[in-house]
Structure 1
């Protein structure tokens, strides 16, 4: 627990308030409120400013933690028989600018993501400003009935990104939000990380493995693989299979890798 507290960097309230004042000023408003959100997030301090803007505040320690996690993930990729494809950031504002650009690229493809507004540096902090979704749940918090209606959209949007040469790099239930849009529950993708463009095929296979790992405990391995197979070939699924043991080592995934592998092998046969 002590180690986790060290990793989860905090930003003093005085600095958060200064960021909130700067954000509000940029949009011609005084600062009425800034609320820090409770989240198991080691890579930023998420806030809501004036109940209108979602703001991620990134400090030097978040950049350091991202580097540590990137090293660990690359070692895991080596264990799967491929070179590491995750890339780190050198500064907090670089992290913010990357997520802004990744979110823009997803939206250009028609993939739902909170509207990206801007990224900037303030007092050595990286600041990312996005549309605030006031009512959302993470993917693992929806009912099984809703999930059955959403899963095709998840794999459809993921394959759309992959066909355009984009990999998410950190796909898990917490990074897929469900929020109302025009009265219907809609998927929103957040928190894409940086991967090496020269290793995009491996990164896409890893994304697919993460999607299967996220959905298998919620839908069952057979239904998760079946849903993926509507958008991915047997070859794609077999490539994802090679990353399942690595994904299973991550603390944010809890699934039966052997069962998912078995369902992939059944489909491929």
Structure 2
């Protein structure tokens, strides 16, 4: 029995056991790889959007839900642990897939003031989806011949613990990140990470500027200097609030190749920004914070970064980004 009651879900557990089987993993990875390569080939030859459609469909069918039972469990935790009443719950903005991010609003019983929190629900399904994502990323790493390895999680609890640790490290390094209030066990295999609510919007929905780019490159540089890796750099994982950029959502990367991992993070940021702004302008801003050798190392990671399902550049922008980076390393 869990802390707030446990109702075993036979189908969920059976599905989890099947998908964790080595032979099922191999078959699914092979099938999805064939579909992905075929879609990518069709996009290049015919100018279609099959790759994006395939990725969107895969995320849609596997995305977890904020159902009535989960909402009840969230309310219970906030009543008991945070002294809240009149609790309202809604999904947070931006894209989500591995966890269920939601905004919890209510009234503090002691102060009678309104409070907001950001809560993320993670479970075995979250860890399983991350495992498959990691498998595909590591296949891409092997294909590109890069000295980099992504790690997976054993369960939702480990995911929550790792994210809590990363956010605490970020704050200790003077990087803007939400304060973590607690990690709580809910019903079944669900865990909930409760964080400070940052009133703002994801950078994917914000107007981009040189000042914002400067903040992003400086944040990534501070992370590298403090031995912190992100592993999932995309605009949805940064929040803009009162002109300040905040960091969310770190994933696991094997620290044995920390320089390669830092270069991968930088390559992902360059690609994410080049999807919104001219690549030459992006590289010019990056040069304020990174040496030509750092950017040259990131240039070698651009193809690897674009294996990420949530990063997408046209062939023209990809070519311009590579040429802009190459120009920095020419004698």
Say yes or no: TM over 0.5. Answer: yes
Deviation of the 1:19 alpha carbon:
2.3
Q: Does structure 2 retain, via aligned residues, the 8 Å contact 1:93–1:126?
A: yes
* SS in structure 2 at match of 1:215: helix
From 295, 298, 302, the counterpart of 1:237: 295
Q: In the superposition, relative to structure 1, how do residues 194 and 249 fare at CA in structure 2: closer, same or farther (>3 Å)? A: closer
Write the distance in 2 (CA, Å) between the matches of 1:4 and 1:33.
26
Write the distance in 2 (CA, Å) between the matches of 1:101 and 1:78.
29
* Deviates further, 12-21 or 198-207: 12-21
**What aligned pairs does 1:46-65 form with structure 2 within 5 A after superposition?**
46-51=101-106, 52-65=116-129
The superposition leaves residues 235-256 of structure 1 with CA deviations (integer Å, 9 ceiling, x where unpaired) of 1111111111122233311222
Rg bigger for which structure? 2
**What aligned pairs does 1:26-105 form with structure 2 within 5 A after superposition?**
26-30=81-85, 32-37=87-92, 39-51=94-106, 52-105=116-169
Q: In the superposition, relative to structure 1, how do residues 140 and 48 fare at CA in structure 2: closer, same or farther (>3 Å)? A: closer
Aligned residues: 262
Aligned to 1:266: 327
Aligned to 1:125: 190
Q: In the superposition, relative to structure 1, how do residues 10 and 59 fare at CA in structure 2: closer, same or farther (>3 Å)? A: farther
Write the distance in 2 (CA, Å) between the matches of 1:153 and 1:2.
33
The superposition leaves residues 88-145 of structure 1 with CA deviations (integer Å, 9 ceiling, x where unpaired) of 11111111111111001011111101111111322221210011123x222232224x
The superposition leaves residues 189-216 of structure 1 with CA deviations (integer Å, 9 ceiling, x where unpaired) of 1011111111111110100000100111
Kindly indicate whether residue 68 of structure 2 is the aligned counterpart of residue 13 of structure 1: yes
The superposition leaves residues 208-227 of structure 1 with CA deviations (integer Å, 9 ceiling, x where unpaired) of 00010011132211111111
From 206, 222, 234, the counterpart of 1:172: 234
Write the distance in 2 (CA, Å) between the matches of 1:140 and 1:42.
16
Structure 2: runs of 5 or more not aligned: 1-55, 107-115
Deviation of the 1:39 alpha carbon:
4.2
Structure 1: runs of 5 or more not aligned: none
From 134, 146, 149, the counterpart of 2:211: 149
- RMSD between aligned residues: 1.7
TM-score normalised to the size of structure 1? 0.91
Aligned to 1:195: 253
Deviation of the 1:31 alpha carbon:
5.2
Write the distance in 2 (CA, Å) between the matches of 1:150 and 1:15.
36
Write the distance in 1 (CA, Å) between the matches of 2:289 and 2:211.
15
Deviation of the 1:48 alpha carbon:
1.7
Q: Does structure 2 retain, via aligned residues, the 8 Å contact 1:11–1:59?
A: no
* Deviates further, 31-40 or 120-129: 31-40
* SS in structure 1 at match of 2:85: coil
* Deviates further, 85-94 or 31-40: 31-40
Aligned to 2:178: 114
Write the distance in 1 (CA, Å) between the matches of 2:275 and 2:237.
16
Write the distance in 2 (CA, Å) between the matches of 1:264 and 1:39.
30
